[in-house]
A and B are shown apart, each in its own frame.
Chain A
Amino acid sequence: MEQRPATRALRVGIPEGLHMRAAMEVAKLLGRFKSHVVLVKEGQRVDGCDVLQILSLAAVQHEELTAEASGDQAEEALAALAALFDNDFAETEETTKEKG
């Protein structure tokens, strides 16, 4: 993977923080793309498809994360992820339709 990964800043909007259900939605969503996505918080890097690791980031409300996507569908994955964060993790029709 020579090329630099695509990145996107994310902000946790929901009051509960990146808790179990939210972490699960993230993992579920990213599982639909070929791209490999890493979530980064203050230097801690975790696999975006791994619920336990996302939880261990302990991202609370108003905290910022960075998503780094590489490989095929990197941009699509990041766009879908950003939409999920923007919609406060409500699994809306649009996010469901965006699957790859």
Chain B
Amino acid sequence: MKKLQGIAVSPGVAIGEALVMDTEGFRIPRRFVARDAVEEELERLHRAIDSAGAEIARNQQAVAFELGEQYAAIFEAHLRMLEGAKLRGELEEMIRDRHYSPEYAVSRTFRRYAELFEKLQAETFASKANDIRDIEKRLLRNLLGRRREGLSKLTSPVVVLAHNLTPSETANLNREFVRGFVTETGGPGSHTAVVAGALEIPAVLGTGPFLNEVSGGDLVIIDGDEGLVILHPDEETIARYQHEAEELRSLAIQLEELRDLPAETADGQRVVLLGNIEFPYEVDHCVARGADGVGLYRTEFLYLEAETEPDEEVHFEAYCRVVKAMQGKPVTIRTFDLGADKVPHLPEPEDERNPFLGLRSIRLALRNVPMFRRQLRAALRASAFGNLRIMFPLVSTLLELRQAKMVLADVVEDLEERKIEFDRNVAVGMMVEVPSACMMIEQFVGEVDFLSIGTNDLIQYTLAVDRSNKDVVGLYNAADPSVLRLIDMVLRAANQRSVPVNLCGQMSSNPLYTMLLLGLGLRRFSVTPSAIPEIKKVCRTVTIADCEEVTRRVMLMENARDIKNFLKGELKKRVPEIAP
């Protein structure tokens, strides 16, 4: 048994057979074969070597014919390397004596040669490592045949273990069969992390290298709450996690009964529970859990998934689907919130040494007005089909907000001129996620229809901490008194002017903070759809007076650890079944 600590990005427990993807997206199959299958596996190896050889020979002929003999020599060399007696002997020995699968034997052997050549000083030999990899891949392709497609063609439940998954690979995971996933790289701020939450499957990122210790078919446990990955678990551990998974399922069923009950406190204060979504299909998760609307619709995926900039129709179709599905309940669309480095069709930024402090989000949108207009135009057109609101992210000065509103006003004018239908009263708001916006909140509230506090960025900018940097991530804490004071400032200013304000960071999805936030005066929570039942459960259990007392005591405390411990205790007293 081996435990790996990574970063927890999507909660829950998954127990299942591993599907291992190597760095190049190859699916690494089972490591061992049964004793009585050895002859069959040897036969499979020989067939694969023969057909790989035939492929190389065909390449050699084709290249010789088109370019001349001297260019085809490389393939002749490949063929001879592949057919060397020693290599075949080594592979056979691994399968026969060590019961390795042919695929595993091939990767092991070729990797050894590749490493050997890489270590050599002489340049000409080091470059041979590439030839070795080329032959390895060809052989693996022949061995794996149809099975090499990896993630796209699954037929049984698996947990996916990979070096890295791109956000779109993650988004395309087969939700029927993928029970959870782990990647060696990545962190909590990454898009892959966001998508994992959207898929509602347990996920752990950033474990560091471990793929060479596991092979396809091994039993693996993913603990998405603790960020743990357990390889080769013992009987006791399996039983413990099975029990935990069972309890989570029964809690989920129990919480499901809350679906049609209103989100209100025990003393009758109505609380608005909204969902955060990234993909149009997640709107179904919101509807299924009785959300009061979509508080945050992130639109980044439209940009990340495509090679070219999405056109107005692509935006329009996605927004329409969400707005229609919510049937008149509010849907808040957050405009473009990416850095230039993440968008392939924008020019490479020149001075981006600190991307989080650089040209991103609304700043980048205001520098690329035609692109920004396309998105706003699509959003306005979709507003004719339901209750749509537009929200600008990362606003740090009043001037920025005014500029963004001017671009929007310009688009409005254009639609009016062309007599295109849209909602003239569409609400316009902003994210409060930069400390400067908190300090100037009195001025901002006069110029917006609503506010949304984004705690993920607010915490990062307030405490000056990059949460993907493990050396400083300890400073990143939603319970830090400085962060709570900023939230308090924003809620006071907004409530005084009756400007609706919600909180949409990960903090609002964590039941630990629900009482505190209610006590601070928050009445609108925008959360991961899967968290709606838990947050509703807390709301229905507590009274506002009770929450205000908890908050009063929290605001006297001086550090995040004391606050968190106190909140844990208070939650446990009132709602023991969901306390961490």
Contacts and interface: CB of A to CB of B under 8 A. Distances in A.
Partners in one complex: yes
Interface of A: 16-17, 19-21, 23-24, 27-28, 46-47, 49-53, 55-56, 58, 60
Contacts of A46: 86
A24 B117 contact: no
B439 interface: no
Contacts of B125: 17, 19, 55, 58, 60
Nearest to B88: A50
A49 to B, nearest CB: 8
Nearest to B110: A52
B86 A53 contact: yes
A93 B206 CA distance: 60
Contact of B84 (A19, A21, A50): A50
B122 A60 contact: yes
Contacts of A20: 74, 77, 128, 131
B135 to A, nearest CB: 9
B117 A55 contact: yes
Contact of A21 (B77, B85, B113, B117): B77
Contacts, number: 57
B113 A52 contact: yes
Given A47-B84, A50-B84, A55-B128, A23 B77 contact: yes
A58 B122 contact: yes
A27 to B, nearest CB: 6
Given A20-B77, A52-B81, A47 B122 contact: no
B86 A24 contact: no
Contact of B113 (A19, A23, A49, A56): A56
A5 to B, nearest CB: 19
B251 interface: no
B86 A52 contact: yes
Interface string B40-83: 00000000000000000000000000000000011011001100
Interface in B229-275: none
B496 interface: no
Interface of B: 73-74, 76-77, 80-81, 84-87, 113, 116-117, 120, 122, 124-125, 128, 131
Nearest to A27: B80
Given A53-B86, A60-B125, 9 more contacts: A19-B125, A21-B73, A47-B84, A49-B85, A50-B86, A51-B81, A52-B84, A55-B117, A58-B117
B88 to A, nearest CB: 10
B80 A51 contact: yes
Contacts of A51: 77, 80-81, 84
A58 to B, nearest CB: 5
A24 B76 contact: yes
Contacts of B86: 46-47, 50, 52-53
B128 to A, nearest CB: 6
A53 B84 CA distance: 8
Contacts of B120: 58
B76 to A, nearest CB: 6
B296 to A, nearest CB: 56
A47 B90 CA distance: 14
- 5 A-B pairs with the lowest CB-CB distances in the bound complex, closest first: A50-B84, A51-B80, A52-B81, A24-B77, A52-B84
Contacts of A60: 122, 125
A49 B83 CA distance: 10
A40 B432 CA distance: 72
Nearest to A53: B86
Contacts of A28: 80
Contacts of A21: 73, 77
- Residue in B80, B117, B128 with the greatest tally of chain A CB atoms within 10 Å: B80
Given A20-B128, A24-B76, A52 B122 contact: no
Contacts of A58: 116-117, 120, 122, 125
A17 B117 CA distance: 13
B120 to A, nearest CB: 5
A52 B80 CA distance: 8
B122 A24 contact: no
